[in-house]
Structure 1
Amino acid sequence: MASAAEQMAANISLSSFSKATELKKRLWFTLGALVLFRFLSYVPMPGIDPRAMASLFATQRGGVLDFFNTFSGGSLERMSIIALGVMPYITASIVVQLGATLYQPWLALKKEGETGRKKLNQYTRYLTVLLTTIQGYWIAVGLESLGASQGIAAVVEPGMLFRVAATISLVGGTLFLMWIGEQITSRGIGNGISLIIMAGIVATLPRALAQLFEGGRTGTMDPLMIATIVFLAIGLVLFICFVERAQRRVLVQYPKRQTARGAMQQERSHLPLKINIAGVIPPIFASSLLLMPLTVLQMAGSKSSPDSGDWLITVSTFLQHGSPLYLALYGLGIAFFCFFYSAVQFNSEETAENLKRHGGFIPGIRPGKATENYFDYLVSRITTVGAAYLVLICLIPEILFSQAGVPFYLGGTSLLIVVNVTMDTVAQIQSHLIAHQYGDLIKKAKLKSGRRR
Structure 2
Amino acid sequence: MFETFKNAWKIADLRKKILYTIMVIAVVRLGSVALPVPFLDPSSLQSMVNQTGSMLGYIDILTGGAFANATIFALSITPYINASIIINLLTIAIPPLERLSKEGEEGRRKLNKITRYTALGLAVALSVAYYFLLKRQGALLYTGGFAGIFSAIVIITAFTAGAMLIIWLGEQIDKKGIGNGISLIIFAGIVSRGKQLVSAIIAYFKLAAQGEWKFYIYIPLILVLAVVIIGFVVMMTEAERRVPVQYAKRVVGRKMYGGQSSFIPIKVNMSGVLPIIFASSIISIPGTIKAFFDTDASTWWGKFLSIFDYNSLAYAIIYFLLIMAFNYFYVAVQYNPLEIANNLRKNNGTIPGIRAGKPTVDFITRILSKVTLIGALFLAVIAVCPIGISAATGMNIALGGTSILIVVGVSLEVVRSLEAQMMMRHHKGFLE
TM-score where L is the length of structure 2: 0.91
Contact kept? 1:64, 1:288, Cα under 8 Å: yes
Q: Which runs of 5+ in 2 are unaligned?
A: none
Aligned residues: 423
* The one of 92, 95, 105 aligned to 1:101: 92
Give how far 1:376 is off: 1.8
* 1:79 paired to 2:70: yes
Q: Aligned partner of 2:264: which letter? A: L
* 1:373 paired to 2:362: yes
Q: Report the counterpart of residue 212 of structure 1 in structure 2.
A: 201
Q: Report the counterpart of residue 164 of structure 1 in structure 2.
A: 153
Q: For residues 383 and 395 of structure 1, what CA distance do their matches in structure 2 show?
A: 18
RMSD in angstroms over aligned alpha carbons?
A: 2.5
Q: Report the counterpart of residue 389 of structure 2 in structure 1.
A: 400
Q: Aligned partner of 1:49: which letter? A: D
- Pairwise mapping of residues 259-298 of structure 1 onto structure 2 (< 5 A)? 266-298=259-291
Residue deviations 1:342-393, cap 9 Å, x none? 1122232322222211111111223334323322221111000111111111
* 1:201 paired to 2:186: no
Contact kept? 1:212, 1:406, Cα under 8 Å: no
Q: Report the counterpart of residue 4 of structure 1 in structure 2.
A: none
Contact kept? 2:52, 2:310, Cα under 8 Å: no
Contact kept? 1:297, 1:312, Cα under 8 Å: no
- Pairwise mapping of residues 236-251 of structure 1 onto structure 2 (< 5 A)? 236-251=229-244
Residue deviations 1:161-194, cap 9 Å, x none? 3332221111111111111111111211111111
SS at match of 1:410: coil
Q: Aligned partner of 1:238: which letter? A: G
Contact kept? 2:241, 2:266, Cα under 8 Å: yes
Deviates more, 1:229-238 or 1:26-35: 26-35
Q: For residues 9 and 94 of structure 2, what CA distance do their matches in structure 1 show?
A: 49
Q: For residues 126 and 12 of structure 1, what CA distance do their matches in structure 2 show?
A: 37
Q: Which runs of 5+ in 1 are unaligned?
A: 1-8, 148-153, 447-453
* The one of 37, 41, 45 aligned to 1:49: 41
Q: Report the counterpart of residue 331 of structure 1 in structure 2.
A: 320
- Pairwise mapping of residues 59-208 of structure 1 onto structure 2 (< 5 A)? 60-147=51-138, 154-158=139-143, 159-208=148-197
SS at match of 1:250: strand
Q: For residues 332 and 39 of structure 1, what CA distance do their matches in structure 2 show?
A: 39
Contact kept? 1:297, 1:316, Cα under 8 Å: yes
Give how far 1:408 is off: 4.6
Residue deviations 1:67-119, cap 9 Å, x none? 11111110011011111111111111011001111211111111211121111
- Pairwise mapping of residues 413-432 of structure 1 onto structure 2 (< 5 A)? 413-432=402-421
Q: Report the counterpart of residue 313 of structure 1 in structure 2.
A: 302
Give how far 1:57 is off: 4.3
Contact kept? 1:283, 1:394, Cα under 8 Å: yes
Q: For residues 18 and 77 of structure 1, what CA distance do their matches in structure 2 show?
A: 36
Residue deviations 1:20-70, cap 9 Å, x none? 221111111111111111001021112112444446645x55311111111
Q: Report the counterpart of residue 386 of structure 1 in structure 2.
A: 375
SS at match of 1:269: strand
* The one of 245, 248, 252 aligned to 2:245: 252
Pick closer, same or farther for the CA change 1:57–1:280 going to 2, 3 Å.
closer
Q: For residues 204 and 28 of structure 2, what CA distance do their matches in structure 1 show?
A: 31
SS at match of 1:409: coil
Residue deviations 1:144-177, cap 9 Å, x none? 1232xxxxxx211123333322211111111111
SS at match of 1:222: helix
Contact kept? 1:141, 1:163, Cα under 8 Å: no
Q: Aligned partner of 1:418: which letter? A: V
Residue deviations 1:206-262, cap 9 Å, x none? 211221232113325611100000000000000001111111001011112569998
Q: Report the counterpart of residue 344 of structure 1 in structure 2.
A: 333
Deviates more, 1:290-299 or 1:340-349: 340-349
Q: For residues 265 and 273 of structure 1, what CA distance do their matches in structure 2 show?
A: 23
Give how far 1:11 is off: 9.7
Contact kept? 1:241, 1:419, Cα under 8 Å: yes
SS at match of 2:355: coil
Contact kept? 2:246, 2:262, Cα under 8 Å: yes
Deviates more, 1:29-38 or 1:367-376: 367-376
Give how far 1:309 is off: 5.8
Q: For residues 173 and 11 of structure 1, what CA distance do their matches in structure 2 show?
A: 36
Q: For residues 268 and 131 of structure 2, what CA distance do their matches in structure 1 show?
A: 42
Q: For residues 116 and 272 of structure 2, what CA distance do their matches in structure 1 show?
A: 22
Identity %: 33
Q: Aligned partner of 2:276: which letter? A: P
Contact kept? 1:213, 1:226, Cα under 8 Å: no
Q: For residues 356 and 194 of structure 1, what CA distance do their matches in structure 2 show?
A: 36
SS at match of 1:41: helix
Contact kept? 1:140, 1:162, Cα under 8 Å: no
SS at match of 1:47: coil
